[in-house]
Structure 1
């Protein structure tokens, strides 16, 4: 613990002009006398630490002393700092913040950021994210209620393995004790997330058939063709940016999207309905019938 504190103090002094003994003591939860001893140890080890007296006094590293920058290029360092800053904001991770401070000592000075990463999501509870991450690190079972794609609510217990951020959403992958199989859960559908006191031993994911995501049966993939009116272009591009696109002279757009079992794809129908009068399904004809049925059901609520 003392060694980790000494290393951390070095990086803090490298990143700040002057730090007082009281500020360092508060940071590490030790007495000022302990900080004085730590500074003596660092000075004896050859680090050029300068002390300043007075109300604004403290300790700093001698001007001109820099860490070796040959290990990583400035692009690598600044990119790592950007990603870690995004993660530390979401998880309030002190370890990540410590790594950022160490990287900042070898980053390029006066470098204007060219990358910004925001891992926060309105569709995920930050407290749930932190509990899941704790469960992954400590190998503790997590209990929660889950609402699946059919809007059915069930209680689940999982052995969390990893968090995943994809498609602008957070997911957790783990072994579901309720289903005795590996599952992926979307955090926006998880309710009452609680970290239990029960621990679990590591599992071998490759021993389970579901862990090796089976390939999609391409015979059940069908092209969905949608005509998008000019006033709905931005929404369509937000959802289907990678679809085949054909723009027309009147400002409209035709998109073609390969979808697995499109008549059963509730996510697709929800997106199409969100466009209102801004989009029309052209193919398959059966999907038009599904959308019409959903619209009739919605209209009944307002009659």
Structure 2
């Protein structure tokens, strides 16, 4: 807390000719005595702060002082600001506003600039799910920082519900979703847990470290088994197809249909993707995938 306040005081001083101890105390909601101690600490690490005594006294920085050793160049600052404007799930709106304000204060050119990149969401989740995930992310990050464990209720991909005690290690963002990599005490191994499938989380205030195994001890994934898939799409789907396939995989036929040929890992379920296109897709090969797709359609119809 003290370090963050000192950094904030330094940024505040960079933007003003002279600041009184009373103004700083009101700004950061601490006593003037605390402000004096913070100023002494900043001076001790080489920040050139000048103190003025008397009724109109206060603190200021030596003219033209730059934080070259402590901050970023202008290009890096702009890049960071644009990155923050992507509304990354790691931050809520208040955190984003604070970080952006701090970086804006460090910019030498204070003209209003609009980010060259904007993204409403980096995942495919509904807004309410993303907000729920942000809360989980903050809780997991806090737990990692404090060294505690988490008791979770987890729903597996096959709909099995289990209670686990995990030691979170880090967060991973993969394929549009957030996962926590953690040591699972019941499995005695590292596992990945998808945050949307964690239905409840309770922090266990236990700093005893679990036996964290090396990544090489994690059971290997299934061997990738690639097979060539050939599909036929209606011409109306061309724009959507470029979201999933490369130019080399797409071929527009003379009759207006679109042929798509690609290799795919047969260990992964392709049916949800195919069902998304409804009547606008036909499976040409392999035959087993066509049969599986027809069985799925029949099951949906009869249910």
TM range (shorter): 0.7 to 0.9
Structure 2 CA distance for aligned equivalents of residues 15 and 191 of structure 1: 46
Residue 217 of structure 1 corresponds to which residue in structure 2?
A: 223
Residue 13 of structure 1 corresponds to which residue in structure 2?
A: 13
SS in 2 for 1:145: strand
For residue 167 of structure 1, report the CA deviation from its aligned partner. 1.8
Identify unmatched segments of 5+ residues in structure 1.
none
Residue 75 of structure 1 corresponds to which residue in structure 2?
A: 75
Structure 2 vs 1, CA of residues 232 and 206 (structure 1 numbering), >3 Å: closer, same or farther?
Answer: same
Structure 1 CA distance for aligned equivalents of residues 255 and 72 of structure 2: 52
The answer to whether the 8 Å contact 1:81/1:104 transfers is no
The answer to whether the 8 Å contact 2:24/2:35 transfers is yes
SS in 2 for 1:175: strand
The answer to whether the 8 Å contact 1:20/1:59 transfers is yes
**C-alpha deviations, 1:118-171, integer Å up to 9, x for none?**
676435422111111112222221222222222222222221111011222111
Structure 1 CA distance for aligned equivalents of residues 153 and 32 of structure 2: 47
Residue 232 of structure 2 corresponds to which residue in structure 1?
A: 227
Structure 2 vs 1, CA of residues 2 and 261 (structure 1 numbering), >3 Å: closer, same or farther?
Answer: closer
For residue 115 of structure 1, report the CA deviation from its aligned partner. 3.6
SS in 2 for 1:246: strand
Q: Which moved more, 1:72-81 or 1:292-301?
A: 72-81
For residue 270 of structure 1, report the CA deviation from its aligned partner. 0.8
Residue 257 (str. 1) matches residue 272 (str. 2): no
- The TM-score normalised by the length of structure 2 is 0.74
Structure 1 CA distance for aligned equivalents of residues 290 and 48 of structure 2: 76
Structure 2 CA distance for aligned equivalents of residues 145 and 76 of structure 1: 41
Q: CA RMSD in A?
A: 4.2
Residue 165 of structure 1 corresponds to which residue in structure 2?
A: 173
Structure 2 CA distance for aligned equivalents of residues 173 and 271 of structure 1: 27
Q: Which moved more, 1:42-51 or 1:224-233?
A: 42-51
Residue 30 of structure 2 corresponds to which residue in structure 1?
A: 30
Residue 198 (str. 1) matches residue 206 (str. 2): yes
1:189 to 175, 182, 197: 197
Structure 2 vs 1, CA of residues 176 and 69 (structure 1 numbering), >3 Å: closer, same or farther?
Answer: closer
1:245 to 232, 243, 250: 250
Residue 278 of structure 1 corresponds to which residue in structure 2?
A: 280
For residue 95 of structure 1, report the CA deviation from its aligned partner. 11
For residue 17 of structure 1, report the CA deviation from its aligned partner. 8.5
For residue 246 of structure 1, report the CA deviation from its aligned partner. 2.2
